[in-house]
């Protein structure tokens, strides 16, 4: 491999493309993939002022600066193996600051105190990123085939990990900006409002009862929690052919949805009461009309856009109010894999950073694939996040990546408008606690047939 200088930092979001979502053993392809992911992370920071990098709005959200450093620490620790005997880390203090939750790797600063890290500075953290980039390039240049084979899978994992943090940078930043009374604009939306036409009618895509194969298979990248592929009996069901819209959620609200306990799970009612919920996160009533905070600033609520920033509890209550239910993750995956099409939808690369109205009635096909399954908003399922039959976490410290969170969380599917296109798959299992609302999370209805 020829050593080349890294591309200069810019504000361009780079799509590494589906071909390199697993770049095999081609060093140049790995390096191009690595650079496109790393540069995209930095491009997301281009609109920021220096003060924006440090804010931590709640324990669940991390400062942008922490994300930038933590993703570098991941490569340093798990790919380069620095910090072990004889191999000096870039900075011996960084492991304590930027380890997220890996108990096997050592102690760390409490999660809710990441916002106290005014030092290292933003410039120091960019310097850290540059140092790690240089070491990765050096490694790719000198590693023999055996070494490359040993590390390649972890390097690819590190890139998917960084793509997860790209989305978290946006959701955490949105939460922080929304907490500022000035409601700062992250970036004006160049593309303009999408011309929606949704849609009074919901269509239903029906699927017969069958023994379905669920989970990842093949050579491409997947997280350990998507495996093993296994059979599941899925009873006949129907899935709504589009996402629930703001207009439909408003109808739930106007019908007293937040005040009527008959629609709510016990824990959900408690969460709604404890948090004073009366609308989705980021909705504000101004002079009798609903406005919504977005990364492009506060705007009038568009009734045709998918409802977003709702908890599992709100999604579940809405579904009960509508006389339907949320899908199981096996049902969702059955629909999403029905036609074998590659992922298409409103992802990070569309640069909208906000869910878009679905196609209008005439343009939607109800079979085999409902609209908006991928992108726009993560769809709450009714499935608890538990291991698939025969699941084995990755060996070593990286076994802590997914497996230890398989308790008290709910699976979401499909990716969002902040998810990189090359990061999502129909078998991808995201998970959040049922009370979480700061992700781009929304609702699709399902029903028995």
Residues that bind Fe ion (CB under 5 A): 100
Which of 165/352 has CB closer to Fe ion? 165
Which of 172/232 has CB closer to Fe ion? 172
For residue 355, the cross-strand partners are none
Which of 100/430 has CB closer to Fe ion? 100
d(CA 292, CA 443): 17
For the bound state, the minimum distance from the C-beta of residue 71 to Fe ion, rounded and expressed in Å, comes to 7
Which of 100/245 has CB closer to Fe ion? 100
Look at the alpha carbons of 72, 73, 77, 80 in this order and tell me if their dihedral is positive or negative: positive
The two structure tokens encoding residue 73: 């620490």
For the bound state, the minimum distance from the C-beta of residue 398 to Fe ion, rounded and expressed in Å, comes to 11
d(CA 251, CA 236): 29
d(CA 234, CA 446): 13
For the bound state, the minimum distance from the C-beta of residue 249 to Fe ion, rounded and expressed in Å, comes to 31
8 Å CB contact between 348 and 187: no
Q: What is the CA radius of gyration of the chain?
A: 22
Residue written as token pair 């023999």? 144
Q: Closest Cα partner for 424 from 374, 370, 372, 382?
A: 374
Which of 27/108 has CB closer to Fe ion? 108
8 Å CB contact between 371 and 358: yes
Which of 167/379 has CB closer to Fe ion? 167
Which of 100/304 has CB closer to Fe ion? 100
Which of 72/100 has CB closer to Fe ion? 100
Query: Helix (H) and strand (E) counts for the chain?
Result: 9, 13
d(CA 413, CA 373): 8
State which residue has the least CB distance to Fe ion.
Answer: 100
For the bound state, the minimum distance from the C-beta of residue 162 to Fe ion, rounded and expressed in Å, comes to 8
Which of 40/100 has CB closer to Fe ion? 100
Alpha-helical (H) ranges within 46-189 are 64-74, 94-98, 122-142, 145-178
For the bound state, the minimum distance from the C-beta of residue 165 to Fe ion, rounded and expressed in Å, comes to 6
Contacts with 204 (C-beta within 8 Å, 6 or more apart), sequence order = 238, 239, 240, 241, 366, 447, 449
8 Å CB contact between 241 and 364: yes
For the bound state, the minimum distance from the C-beta of residue 70 to Fe ion, rounded and expressed in Å, comes to 6
Which of 100/311 has CB closer to Fe ion? 100
For the bound state, the minimum distance from the C-beta of residue 134 to Fe ion, rounded and expressed in Å, comes to 22
For the bound state, the minimum distance from the C-beta of residue 93 to Fe ion, rounded and expressed in Å, comes to 19
d(CA 21, CA 349): 15
Omega of the bond leading into 368 within 30 degrees of 0 (cis): yes
8 Å CB contact between 157 and 398: yes
For the bound state, the minimum distance from the C-beta of residue 66 to Fe ion, rounded and expressed in Å, comes to 10
Contacts with 154 (C-beta within 8 Å, 6 or more apart), sequence order = 78, 79, 398
**DSSP one-letter code for 150:** H
For the bound state, the minimum distance from the C-beta of residue 389 to Fe ion, rounded and expressed in Å, comes to 27
């Amino acid at each position: 491999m020829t050593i080349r200088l890294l591309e200069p930092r810019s504000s361009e979001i780079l799509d590494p493309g589906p071909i390199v979502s697993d770049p095999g053993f081609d060093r140049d392809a790995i390096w191009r993939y690595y650079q496109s992911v790393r540069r995209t992370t930095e491009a997301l920071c281009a609109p920021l002022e220096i003060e924006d990098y440090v804010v931590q709005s709640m324990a669940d959200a991390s400062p942008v600066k922490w994300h930038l450093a933590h993703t570098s620490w991941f490569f340093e620790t798990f790919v380069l193996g620095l910090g072990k005997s004889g191999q000096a880390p870039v900075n011996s203090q960084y492991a304590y600051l930027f380890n997220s939750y890996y108990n096997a790797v050592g102690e760390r600063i409490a999660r809710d105190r990441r916002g106290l890290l005014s030092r290292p500075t933003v410039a120091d953290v960019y310097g850290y990123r540059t140092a790690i980039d240089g070491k990765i390039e050096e490694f790719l240049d000198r590693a023999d085939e055996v070494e490359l084979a040993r590390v390649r899978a972890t390097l690819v994992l590190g890139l998917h990990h960084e793509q997860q943090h790209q989305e978290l940078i946006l959701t955490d930043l949105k939460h922080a900006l929304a907490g500022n009374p000035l409601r700062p604009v992250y970036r004006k939306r160049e593309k303009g409002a999408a011309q929606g036409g949704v849609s009074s009618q919901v269509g239903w895509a029906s699927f017969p009862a069958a023994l379905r194969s669920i989970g990842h298979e093949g050579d491409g990248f997947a997280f350990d929690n998507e495996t093993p592929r296994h059979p599941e009996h899925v009873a006949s069901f129907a899935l709504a052919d589009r996402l629930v819209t703001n207009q439909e959620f408003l109808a739930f609200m106007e019908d007293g949805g937040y005040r009527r306990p008959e629609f709510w799970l016990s824990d959900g009612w408690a969460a709604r009461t404890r948090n004073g919920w009366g609308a989705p996160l980021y909705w504000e009533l101004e002079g009798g009309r609903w406005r919504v905070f977005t990364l492009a600033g506060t705007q009038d609520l568009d009734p045709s856009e998918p409802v977003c920033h709702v908890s599992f509890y709100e999604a579940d209550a809405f579904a009960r109010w509508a006389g339907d239910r949320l899908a199981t993750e096996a049902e969702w995956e059955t629909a999403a894999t029905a036609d074998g099409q590659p992922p298409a939808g409103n992802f990070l690369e569309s640069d909208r950073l906000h869910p878009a109205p679905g196609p209008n009635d005439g343009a939607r096909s109800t079979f085999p694939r409902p609209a908006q399954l991928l992108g726009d908003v993560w769809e709450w399922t009714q499935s608890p996040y538990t291991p698939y039959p025969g699941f084995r976490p990755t060996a070593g410290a990286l076994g802590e990546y997914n497996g230890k969170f398989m308790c008290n969380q709910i699976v979401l599917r499909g990716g969002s408008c902040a998810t990189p296109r090359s990061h999502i798959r129909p078998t991808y299992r995201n998970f959040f606690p049922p009370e979480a609302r700061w992700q781009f999370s929304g609702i699709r209805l399902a029903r028995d047939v």
